[in-house]
Amino acid sequence: MQVLVLGGTGFIGKRLTSRLLQEGELSLNGQAPREIKRLVVFDKHGTDQLPNDPRLEIIDGDINDDRLIDNLLKSSYDAIFHLAAIVSGEAERDFDMGMRVNLKASMNILEICRHQNRKPLMVFASSCAVFGGNATKSIIRDDTHTTPQSSYGTQKAITELLINDYSRRGFIDGRVLRLPTIMVRSGKANAANSSFASSMIREPLHGHTTTCPVPDETMIWILSPEAAILNFMFGASLNSDLLGDNRIVTLPGLKTSVSEIKERMKELKGKEILDLIETSIDEDVYNMVQTWPIDFDTSRALDLGFVKDNSISDVIKLFMKEEFDS
C-alpha cells in the first residue's frame, strides 16, 4: 500500500505519519489491514522530526505548484490524508493566500484525482469553523446548514461540498472529518485564533507566562491530538456504505471553558500555576471566537465508531506525559 500525507510536517501531520509508520498497516474502506510499503509526506517545509524509515519519503514544495502536485499524484496512492492548510487567523489576514492554499489547491488535487481514474481514498481535515452565526445558537448536527463567519471556514465548507460530490460521482472515495479545536499543541503557538487554548496549558507548564485573549466564561469545543490521530485512521478504515450520501462527519469533542481549563490546571499543578496566565482581551480574537459553535450532537460519529476524550483533566495529563516523560 502507498499512502500520501499532504501537510505531513505540521503538528498533526507528523503525529499521523509517525503513527502510520509505527502501526505498519492500514485498513481502508472496511477491508482487512494491509501493509504500508511506501509513505510519502508532502509539505512546504521538510522536517528532521520524523523517524528515519526506509518506507518514508519526504517531499517539500508549494502545494500551489500545479506541475509539482501533478507529478506527486502520479503515484498510485491507495490513501491520501489531506491536512494541508493555512490556519484561521492567517487565512483571515491574507484572503488571497487562504484562497490559494485552502481552496484552489484542494480543487486542483481533486481534479488531478478525477482525471487519473484511480478513485483514491481521501480523508480531508475540515473544521467546525464551517459553522457560525445563527447556527451557534442551536445544537449542531452533521446535516446542519453551514454558515461560516470566517474566510477559513468558508474555504473548508466549499471543499467539503466538493469532496462529497466527487465521491458521489465516483472520482474519489472521500471522508471529511470536522475537527474541533486541537488541544494541547506542543511547540510554539501558531497563527490560529484558537491557539490560546493550547498556550494557556503549554506555557505555564513550562514555567512561562502566557496571555489569554478571551474572558474566563468563553466556551470552546476541543479534541486532543491523540484522539484526532485515532479518528483520522479510523476514518480511512470506515466502510463508505455506512456514510451514505453524506461523507462529512463532525468529530466528537469536549465542551469546556477558559475557567474550567484554569480550574483543572490548578487541581493538577497547584494554584500558583494560575499566576502565569494573564488575561488581556483581544477584541478581534474574542469577536471571532464568539462566532464558533459549542453545542454539538455527535451521536452519528460515535455510532460510527469515532472516539472522544474523557475529560479536560485527561487531555492535560496526556500532554504532560508526552511533553515531559519523553
Tens-digit pLDDT profile for residues 226-270: 999 999 999 999 999 999 999 999 999 999 999 999 999 999 999
Phi, psi of 210 (to 5 degrees): -135, 155
Task: Give the 3-state secondary structure of residue 202.
Answer: helix
* List of domains in the chain: 2-180+224-250 (3.40.50.720), 195-220+254-294+310-325 (3.90.25.10)
Average pLDDT, the chain: 95
The mean pLDDT of 186-203, rounded to a whole number, is 89
- Identity of the residue numbered 242: L
Give the model's pLDDT for residue 227: 98
Give the model's pLDDT for residue 98: 97
Residues above pLDDT 90, as percent of the chain: 87
Tens-digit pLDDT profile for residues 279-313: 999 998 898 888 888 999 999 999 999 999 999 99
Residue with cell 511547540: 187
Instruction: Say which range, 81-85, 89-93, 174-178, has the weakest mean pLDDT.
Output: 89-93
**Helix 312-320 vs helix 258-269: crossing angle, to nearest 10:** 50
Would you say residue 191 has pLDDT above 80?
A: no
| Residue-wise DSSP of 115-143 | HHT---EEEEEEEGGG--GGGGGS-B-TT
List active site positions: 152
Q: What's the CA gap between 7 and 125, in Å, rounded? A: 10
Would you say residue 14 has pLDDT above 80?
A: yes
| Residue-wise DSSP of 23-81 | H-EE--TTPPPEE--EEEEEESS--S-S---TTEEEEE--TT-HHHHHHHTTS--SEEE
Give the model's pLDDT for residue 326: 61
Q: What's the CA gap between 216 and 210, in Å, rounded? A: 14
pTM over 0.85: yes
